[in-house]
């Protein structure tokens, strides 16, 4: 699979906690500071275009004829992060979809100074992906970033064929709440940690006596079970540092949705 670079001019936004270059795919006459990296693959057509934009004058359009449910990350960008303390971040973008048979979303991977992956999140794990034809919709992922984080890689992904548009990426810092985690959310997080301790083949790689309080500090202000999965994702990200990049604890709302799908009758002609 071949990679190529597409240079886009961009103004610096010094107030941002991470410098995303050309978040809206807008050209300008200013200095080139960074690039989106596009993936050239059979069945993909990628271009910055001026029709069907969310804001400004440009958006990124991805045309795909790839098979349904084959996930492709057609574009990405690496950015720096000011490390030093644990933080909570929100990455978002606007997505439009037409004539699709899959879904689309955004993703983020976080790395330390040596380039080792610390955490990884995609829209579908937080149920914020776009899975039907629609006008512009907001997709957001939230992740907890450890103190040793130095860089991140962000981008969009698609599954299946159709026409997809991406615009207006944004990365915002949201410091953990000052209040303590709620009793319900704290119990859920503790159960998840015990489950990992009992079942992960990498459990002995983590110092749980120091890591568990760290997770609870990061969870400060979390009230609901859904929000508690931010802390669970943080735990799974820590396992990923030691080689476990595939294990996941499924979110409760996705469990219920999958049960409903399994129980639903197969429509005529769709089986």
pTM score of the predicted model: 0.75
Mean pLDDT (whole number) for 246-252: 66
Output the pLDDT for position 127.
83
Q: Could you tell me the pLDDT band of residue 223, with boundaries at 50, 70 and 90?
A: confident
Of the two residues 261 and 102, the one the predictor is more confident about is: 102
pLDDT in tens, 80-92: 887 677 778 899 9
Rounded CA-CA distance 22/12 in Å is 9
Q: Could you tell me the pLDDT band of residue 260, with boundaries at 50, 70 and 90?
A: very low
Nearest CA-CA partner of 168 in 268, 53, 261, 14: 53
Output the pLDDT for position 175.
63
Output the pLDDT for position 17.
54
Of the two residues 67 and 133, the one the predictor is more confident about is: 133
Output the pLDDT for position 178.
62
Mean pLDDT (whole number) for 59-73: 85
Rounded CA-CA distance 12/111 in Å is 22
Distances (CA, A) of 144 to 47, 160, 206, 209, 237: 32, 30, 18, 19, 9
Count of C-beta atoms within a 10 Å radius of residue 157: 23
Output the pLDDT for position 38.
85
Encoded tokens for 189? 């997080």
Does position 256 have pLDDT exceeding 60, yes or no? no
Q: Could you tell me the pLDDT band of residue 248, with boundaries at 50, 70 and 90?
A: low
Output the pLDDT for position 153.
94
Output the pLDDT for position 261.
42
Does position 117 have pLDDT exceeding 80, yes or no? yes
Rounded CA-CA distance 165/231 in Å is 31
Output the pLDDT for position 162.
92
Rounded CA-CA distance 16/22 in Å is 13
**Mean pLDDT of the chain, nearest integer:** 79
Domains annotated for the chain, with CATH where assigned, are 7-173 (2.60.120.260), 183-255 (no CATH)
Mean pLDDT (whole number) for 10-31: 59
Output the pLDDT for position 16.
43
Mean pLDDT (whole number) for 206-216: 89
């Amino acid at each position: 699979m071949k990679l190529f670079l597409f240079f886009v001019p961009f103004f610096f936004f010094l107030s941002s906690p991470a410098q995303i270059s050309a978040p809206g795919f807008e050209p300008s006459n200013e200095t080139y500071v960074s690039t989106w990296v596009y993936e050239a693959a059979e069945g993909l057509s990628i271009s910055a275009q001026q029709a069907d934009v969310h804001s400004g004058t440009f958006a990124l359009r991805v045309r795909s004829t790839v098979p349904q449910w084959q996930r492709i990350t057609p574009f990405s960008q690496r950015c720096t992060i000011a490390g030093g303390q644990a933080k909570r971040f929100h990455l978002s973008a606007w997505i439009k979809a037409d004539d699709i048979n899959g879904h689309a979303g955004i993703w983020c991977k976080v790395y330390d100074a040596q380039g080792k992956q610390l955490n990884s999140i995609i829209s579908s794990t937080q149920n914020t992906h776009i899975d039907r034809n629609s006008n512009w919709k907001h997709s957001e992922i939230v992740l907890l970033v450890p103190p040793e984080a130095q860089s991140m890689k962000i981008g969009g992904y698609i599954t299946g064929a159709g026409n997809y548009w991406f615009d207006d990426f944004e990365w915002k810092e949201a410091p953990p709440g000052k209040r303590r985690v709620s009793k319900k959310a704290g119990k859920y997080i503790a159960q998840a940690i015990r489950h990992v301790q009992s079942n992960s083949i990498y459990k002995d790689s983590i110092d749980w006596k120091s890591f568990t309080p760290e997770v609870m500090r990061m969870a400060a202000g979390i009230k609901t079970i859904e929000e508690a999965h931010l802390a669970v994702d943080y735990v799974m990200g820590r396992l990923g540092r030691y080689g476990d990049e595939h294990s996941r604890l499924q979110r409760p709302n996705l469990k219920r949705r999958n049960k409903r799908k399994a129980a639903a009758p197969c429509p005529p002609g769709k089986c």
